Amino acid sequence: MRAVIARSGGILELAPSALRPLARSGAHLVPLGEGDLIPLPDEASVAHLPGRRAFAADAEGQPVNIDGGAMAVAAILPVGHLRCLLPASEPEPGAPRLPLYGYTAVAEHRGRLMAAAVATDAFAWWRPAEYRRADLPAAVAATRAALPGNRVVEQLAACALEHNCYTAQNTFHRRYEGALPASPACNADCLGCISMQPDPVPTPQPRMKYAPTAEELAELAGYHLAGGDARIVSFGQGCEGEPLTRDATLAEAVARIRARHPDATIHVNTNGSRPEALRRLIDAGCNSVRVSAISFTDPVFRAYYRPVDYGLEEVIACGEVMAEAGGQVCLNLLTFPGLTDVPEELERTAAAGRAMGVRQVQWRSLNVDHDWLVRVMPEQPPAIGMTRALHWMRRELPGVEHGNFTRPWPPASPIQFAGDAAAGITMGADA
């Protein structure tokens, strides 16, 4: 195996053959072995990391900086894959913050580019080939004509056409999961927020600047759900803040949607800050929630979310109230190698999953400048590895499904997870 580096202009090269590939787990440099890698997935991209020195191991296994102006290289994975290790990089003085992507370690093996990743979910709704269709502009035009003056339509048009948001595209194609962004405000200040970042960090999905009415939301939901392949509408999109800050409006919208579409899945993606607000939506007809968390260790949770007037008690309670109502509870686990796979973190996550009545864990690679995040988050002890962590969690939460994507509720079939052969791995075992 060979380490992969980039030279000026982003031209990829193989590192000298005497050097062996390294990766990072949090702040720790670790060997990158064949068992850590899969062939670079279709639809993945490869990027050089400006201002980041590349590291490899010498013949004695000691980390060395690859000199000659070598820059670190990373893969950016498509949906349905989980990053397992970070690039072996170190920022130079004055290096810019990286855009918000899930940077993944890569290497070359037998003439192929490989990535430190595992496939987690192959749900047909979210295959990249299903998107960027040539008929998208016509679908947007048709929706605008059907719902003139609806501001949510205009918001999603920008998301679909300019920012390549899959859920927004679904809304116009009237299929699968449709988007209902609802809130310009938030009660957290997440380090990796994708709708609001300080300059000069690019914001992938600029936040909406207005508060839609219940009528606008219900109107668009009805239009989407009337399409033949539409099953879900969801509040809490990448282009908004926290939907539960607008519970009165959302409850009214949910009641209208439920009255017209009794079999629909009405879903909300949330930071889990307001369980009483979620209960109000449930009473109106919401039957599915996905609660996001990076950690169930309070200092780590607070360092990342910087929450306003809520904590982990409220996050767990949001799962509890939906589970008590018989709805779907998903945990959106924001993963970061060297944090998520620390044994103490795993124990707390499993305990929270049991308390919340979680039915599905969605393993989400946190999109963030990994070098920057390591500097600003609490220091972590050595981890056991993401693949081992994933299989340990499957053992600890029997009956809970693991993947990436929210399904209609109730589910039609179980999620097919790619790594069943290794399901017996324990936390203390060698991978």
What pLDDT digit, counting tens, does each position of 310-331 carry? 999 999 999 999 999 999 999 9
Q: What is the pLDDT of residues 166-181, one digit of tens each?
A: 999 999 999 999 999 9
Same domain, 51 and 132: no
Same domain, 36 and 108: yes
Q: Per-residue DSSP letters for 295-322?
A: -SSHHHHHHHH--SS--HHHHHHHHHHH
Using CA atoms, how far apart are residues 172 and 376, in angstroms rounded to an integer? 39
Same domain, 151 and 273: yes
Q: According to the model, what pLDDT value does residue 133 have?
A: 87
Q: What is the pLDDT of residues 357-387, one digit of tens each?
A: 999 999 999 999 999 999 999 999 999 999 9
Same domain, 134 and 257: yes
pLDDT interval class at 421 (50, 70, 90) = very low
Q: How far is CA 389 from CA 183, 342, 361, 406, in A?
A: 34, 8, 13, 21
Q: What is the pLDDT of residues 257-295, one digit of tens each?
A: 999 999 999 999 999 999 999 999 999 999 999 999 999
Using CA atoms, how far apart are residues 91 and 168, in angstroms rounded to an integer? 35
Of 65, 97, 119, the one marking the end of a domain is: 119
Q: For residue 323, with 0-12 CB atoms within 10 Å meaning exposed, 13-18 middle and 19 or more buried, which class applies?
A: middle
Average pLDDT, the chain: 94
Range of the domain at 303: 124-422
If you search the block for the tokens 């109502």, which residue do you land on?
A: 325
Same domain, 174 and 188: yes
Q: Where are the beta strands (DSSP E) in 116-222?
A: 117-119, 175-179
Same domain, 11 and 147: no
Same domain, 163 and 62: no
Give the count of domains, the chain.
2
pLDDT interval class at 132 (50, 70, 90) = confident
Same domain, 178 and 104: no
C-beta of residue 270 within 8 angstroms of C-beta of residue 180:
no
Same domain, 75 and 135: no
Using CA atoms, how far apart are residues 186 and 246, in angstroms rounded to an integer? 10
Is the pLDDT assigned to residue 79 strictly greater than 80? yes
Q: Per-residue DSSP letters for 325-391?
A: TT-EEEEEEEE-TTTTTSHHHHHHHHHHHHHHT-SEEEEEE--B-HHHHHHHSPP------HHHHHH
Same domain, 135 and 62: no
Whether residue 330 is contained in a domain is answered as: yes
Whether residue 184 is contained in a domain is answered as: yes
Give percent above pLDDT 90 in the chain: 88
* Model pTM score: 0.94
Whether residue 308 is contained in a domain is answered as: yes
Phi-psi sector, 33: left (phi>0), alpha (psi -120 to 50), beta: beta
Whether residue 347 is contained in a domain is answered as: yes
Phi-psi sector, 68: left (phi>0), alpha (psi -120 to 50), beta: left
Is the pLDDT assigned to residue 413 strictly greater than 80? no
Name which residue leads in pLDDT, 415 or 367: 367
Q: According to the model, what pLDDT value does residue 418 have?
A: 56
Q: According to the model, what pLDDT value does residue 423 have?
A: 37
Same domain, 138 and 93: no
Of 59, 93, 119, the one marking the end of a domain is: 119
Q: According to the model, what pLDDT value does residue 414 have?
A: 72
Over residues 150-161, mean pLDDT: 97
Give, for 234, the enclosing helix (H) or strand (E). strand 229-235
Q: According to the model, what pLDDT value does residue 151 have?
A: 98
Q: According to the model, what pLDDT value does residue 419 have?
A: 53
Same domain, 170 and 221: yes
Q: Per-residue DSSP letters for 8-64?
A: GGG-EEEPPTTSEEEEEETTEEEE--GGG-EEPPTT-EEEEEEEEEEEEE-TTS-EE
Whether residue 431 is contained in a domain is answered as: no
Of 84, 119, 154, the one marking the end of a domain is: 119
DSSP 102: B
Whether residue 140 is contained in a domain is answered as: yes
Handedness of CA 308, 314, 319, 322 (dihedral sign): negative
* CATH code at position 254: 3.20.20.70
Q: Taking the C-alpha atoms of 254, 283, 275 and 155 in order, what is their torsion angle to the nearest 10 degrees? A: 0
Is the pLDDT assigned to residue 143 strictly greater than 80? yes
DSSP lists the bridge partners of residue 234 as 179, 267
Over residues 38-65, mean pLDDT: 95
Whether residue 430 is contained in a domain is answered as: no
Q: According to the model, what pLDDT value does residue 424 have?
A: 38
If you search the block for the tokens 């109000």, which residue do you land on?
A: 280
Whether residue 384 is contained in a domain is answered as: yes
